[in-house]
Amino acid sequence: MSIKTIGLLTSGGDAPGMNAAVRSVTRSAIFNGLRVKAIFRGYRGLVTGEIKEFRTENVSNIIQQGGTILKTARCTEFTTEEGRKIAYENMRKEEIDALVVIGGDGTFTGARMFAREYDVPIVGIPGTIDNDLCGTDSTIGYDTALNTIVDAVDKIRDTASSHERLFFIEVMGRDAGFLALNSALAAGAEAAIIPERKTHEEQLEELIKNGFRKSKNSSIVLVAESPKTGGAQALAERMHEAHPEYDVRVTILGHLQRGGRPTAYDRIIASRMGAAAVEALLDGQRNIMVGIVNDKIVYVPFTQAIRDDKPLDPHIVQTLQALSI
């Protein structure tokens, strides 16, 4: 069946650069003679029929905006067979032949299930600040979030140094420590507590003690928000109990990490991935995620993209340790 109309949605957590991807998919599709139907609020819009045709002017002036103009939502109906049946009926009604879904692993898990039940070609674009998808060096939004965190840590460093304090800064990263680890490296923090590595608190104590004893007048530790790390607050409390002499503070960066203008890098990868998603559908590819590896577009099956073991380069961990002496 030839594809005439593409349905486009953003789903899961919002990520800066999603709008650049929406623009790219829309314009590339129109450039290739296809129609584009925007589906609002992720899979919910497919279930409720909140769908509208997009023309090139609908995506004007959005490349620089954070968030997503298509809105996003968590949709429990789509996790049920009945919900997906309604979604499929709405697709047929709107004459949508294929889908481009922008989101994270949950979004691709849903897409895979939908494509297995109904004969729908689907291509995914990785949009999540966590960078936790396999088969792509970076996900859309990760670079912007990293820069936002580094900017915040630099500011916290000023007060940490002035007051000779130990700061635990919590960042996002439920299952993946990329944000915590790389922002620690970029901001010159003393350590990163990440879900991929067991925390040895004695070592951390030793590191901080040595630092304060030697040249440092502040210490900053990045902590990924995850049940595996226990979070910054709990770690800070334990550290304060063990060392009441430290002036320990906690900052939880929270949702500010998601917002803001996407960096040039995120806009570029979003634009490239959006165009590649349309090309993939026209080439007859389906059930794949577009990725970028070594600066080249790649296509990865959903099953591979959502594996939960995206490797963290141990060299980055070692470098952070070496530089924090």
Q: Give the other-Cβ count within 10 Å of 233's Cβ.
A: 13
Give burial (CB, 10 Å; 0-12/13-18/19+) of 266: buried
- Exactly one of 104, 121, 173, 177 binds ligand ATP (CB under 6 A); that residue is 104
What one-character-per-residue DSSP string does 104-141 give? -HHHHHHHHHHHHHS---EEEEEB-TT---TT-S--BT
Member of 94, 105, 143, 170 binding ligand ATP (CB under 6 A): 105
Q: By CB under 6 A, tell whether 30 contacts ligand ATP.
A: no
Would you count residue 79 as binding ligand ATP (CB under 6 A)?
Answer: yes
Least distance from ligand ATP to the Cβ atom of residue 111, Å = 8
Q: Compute CA distances 110 → 2, 74, 287, whole Å.
A: 24, 11, 11
Outline where DSSP puts E strands in the chain: 5-10, 35-39, 51-54, 98-103, 122-126, 166-171, 191-193, 219-224, 248-252, 288-293, 296-301
Compute the least distance from the CB of residue 44 to ligand ATP, in Å: 7
Binding residue for ligand ATP (CB under 6 A) from 7, 17, 66, 110?
110
Three-class DSSP category at 284: coil
With respect to ligand ATP, which residue has the nearer C-beta, 11 or 229?
11
Task: Name the phi and psi angles at 285, rounded to 5.
Answer: -80, 155
Q: Which of 154, 109, 90 is nearest to 11 (CA)?
A: 109
Check residue 106 for interaction with ligand ATP (CB under 6 A): yes
Q: How far is the CB of 56 from ligand ATP (least distance, A)?
A: 27
80: helix, coil or strand?
Answer: coil
Q: Does 109 bind ligand ATP (CB under 6 A)?
A: yes
Smallest CA-to-CA distance from 190 within 173, 175, 206 is with 206
Q: Could you say whether residue 131 binds ligand ATP (CB under 6 A)?
A: no
**Per rule CB under 6 A, is residue 11 in the interface with ligand ATP?**
yes
Nearer to ligand ATP, 85 or 200 (CB): 85
Choice between 148 and 324, CB closer to ligand ATP: 148
Tell me the per-residue interface mask from 35 to 74 with ligand ATP, x by CB under 6 A, - otherwise.
Answer: -------xx------------------------------x
Q: Does residue number 78 form part of the binding site for ligand ATP (CB under 6 A)?
A: yes
Q: Which of 7, 12, 17, 211 binds ligand ATP (CB under 6 A)?
A: 12
- Nearer residue to ligand ATP within complex by CB, 55 or 85: 85
Check: CB of residue 286 under 8 Å from CB of residue 123: yes
Out of 130, 132, 143, 266, the active site residue is 130
For residues 249 and 266, give the distance between their C-alpha atoms in angstroms, rounded to a whole number.
32
Strand ranges, E, within 189-295: 191-193, 219-224, 248-252, 288-293
Tokens of 127: 């949009």
In the complex, what is the shortest distance from the CB of residue 114 to ligand ATP, in angstroms, rounded to a whole number?
7
Stretch that binds ligand ATP, among 97-105, 151-159, 184-192, 274-282 (CB under 6 A): 97-105
State which residue has the least CB distance to ligand ATP.
106
Does residue 295 carry a catalytic annotation?
no
Site for ligand ATP (CB under 6 A): which residue of 70, 75, 171, 278? 75
Q: How far is the CB of 14 from ligand ATP (least distance, A)?
A: 8
d(CA 180, CA 191): 9
The reply to whether 103 sits near ligand ATP by the rule CB under 6 A is yes
Answer yes or no: are the C-beta atoms of 65 and 15 closer than 8 Å.
no
Q: Which residues are catalytic?
A: 130
Q: Which residues bind ligand ATP (CB under 6 A)?
A: 11-13, 42-43, 74-75, 78-79, 103-107, 109-110, 113, 128, 130
